Amino acid sequence: MGLFSAAGYLQDQGELDPRDRARLDRILSWFSENLFAPPVDEIPSQAIFWYHQDSPMVRPMWSLANVLKEYNFSVELIKTSFAGLIVYKDEHQVAAIPRGRKR
């Protein structure tokens, strides 16, 4: 599960402290305003999104990860030099189908 999916789950199902809910809402609002989300029907479901290492999205993503960790979600940093077959790319992110996943 990706961090945005986990955040949505936490918003819908979790018993969030009011301050944490406000913090999570602020972080997600920031992403809504600053990160283009390509149409879901244009990205294969097998694709995984990766941020460019120098993207300004990285620091706020860690803020999101920290909220999730406080609610016992497991968070890992995964790096790669080859993300797979790139199916979407912009200045902040790529979506790629990893080797071994069918399109």
Counting the structural domains of the chain, the total is 1
pTM comes to 0.84
Question: What pLDDT is attached to residue 64?
Answer: 97
Burial class (CB in 10 A: 0-12, 13-18, 19+), 64: buried
Q: At what angle do helices 18-34 and 58-70 cross, to 10 degrees?
A: 160
pLDDT-based confidence at residue 4 (cuts at 50, 70, 90) = very high
Cα separation, 61 vs 84, in Å, equals 22
Whether residue 49 contacts residue 35, with contact meaning beta carbons closer than 8 Å, is answered with no
Asked if residue 46 belongs to a domain, the reply is: yes
Asked if residue 103 belongs to a domain, the reply is: no
Question: What pLDDT is attached to residue 14?
Answer: 73
Asked if residue 25 belongs to a domain, the reply is: yes
Asked if residue 102 belongs to a domain, the reply is: no
Asked if residue 75 belongs to a domain, the reply is: yes
pLDDT tens-digit map of 6-62? 999 999 987 899 999 999 999 999 999 999 999 889 999 999 999 998 999 999 999
The candidate with the shortest Cα–Cα distance to 84, out of 97, 72, 93, 71, is 97
Asked if residue 82 belongs to a domain, the reply is: yes
Asked if residue 48 belongs to a domain, the reply is: yes
Q: Residue 87's domain spans which residues?
A: 3-97
Identity of the residue numbered 1: M
